[in-house]
A = this chain, B = another copy of it.
Amino acid sequence: MEPGPSPSDRARPVGRGPKVRAAVLAATLAELTGGGYAALTVDNVAHRAGVHKTTVYRRWKDRESLVVDALGEHIAADIPAPDTHAVETDLRELARSLVRTMTGETGQAVIATMLSDAVRVPEIADLRRRLFDDRLRRSRPVIARAVERGELPAGTDPDELLKTLAAPIYFRLLITAETVDETTADDAARVALAAARAGALNRPREKP
């Protein structure tokens, strides 16, 4: 393995580079959506982006770097945390926003790749953790505010509550392949809120 340009080196001046970069990353996501990680080749990505293969290899050392970069770009998109001054609507908005992200075409490509054979690429496994950690970090203040307003027990564990909110959505997407829509989001919010109010998501939790 020879050292290639760092895939996360986004600041270097490349002339028309940003356009090429955007086209190649968009083509990578499109290839992931269409054929999955196993079928993705640099050739196909270059063809779809309308660039020469050598242009791709000048910036990304292999298809793994390309996929990591395409997914990372998608993850970096800013997701604002809701602040409706009521925990019920805040949780519902968080859940609906997750549903929108995950059911969009790009979201589906992202999740499919993160769970596909690509997960054997360590950088992609790391990225999956980073994706979720980032979402947690952005959403924690929503729970903290609800606790401050006295809408949730003082001991509520924000991370446990946020995972309880997200879990049924991922579960339906990945395991049961049921329709995932606003009702799914609202159901998830209602369940997480009931559990939190009952103290079932308090920290520290009892051990058996």
A residues contacting B by CB (< 8 A) are 36-39, 112, 115-117, 119-120, 125, 128-129, 132, 160, 163-164, 166-168, 170-172, 174-177, 182-183, 186-187, 190-191, 193-195, 197-201, 205, 207-208
Q: A164-B168, A175-B128 are in contact. Are A200 and B208 (CB under 8 A)?
A: no
B129–A177 CB distance below 8 A: yes
Name the contact of A171 in the complex, choosing from B116, B167, B191, B194 (C-beta under 8 A).
B167
**Stoichiometry (number of copies):** 2
5 contacting pairs across A/B (C-beta < 8 A): A129-B177, A166-B175, A170-B174, A190-B205, A194-B199
B171–A163 CB distance below 8 A: yes
A121 vs B125: C-alpha distance in the bound complex, in angstroms?
23
B171–A183 CB distance below 8 A: no
Residues of B within 8 A of A129 (CB): 176-177
Q: How far is the CB of A28 from chain B (nearest CB, A)?
A: 16
Closest 8 CB pairs of A and B: A194-B198, A194-B200, A167-B171, A167-B167, A38-B117, A115-B115, A38-B38, A191-B195
Most buried by B among A167, A170, A182, A200: A167
Chain B residue at minimum C-beta to C-beta distance from A186? B208
Q: How far is the CB of A92 from chain B (nearest CB, A)?
A: 8
Residues of B within 8 A of A166 (CB): 171, 175
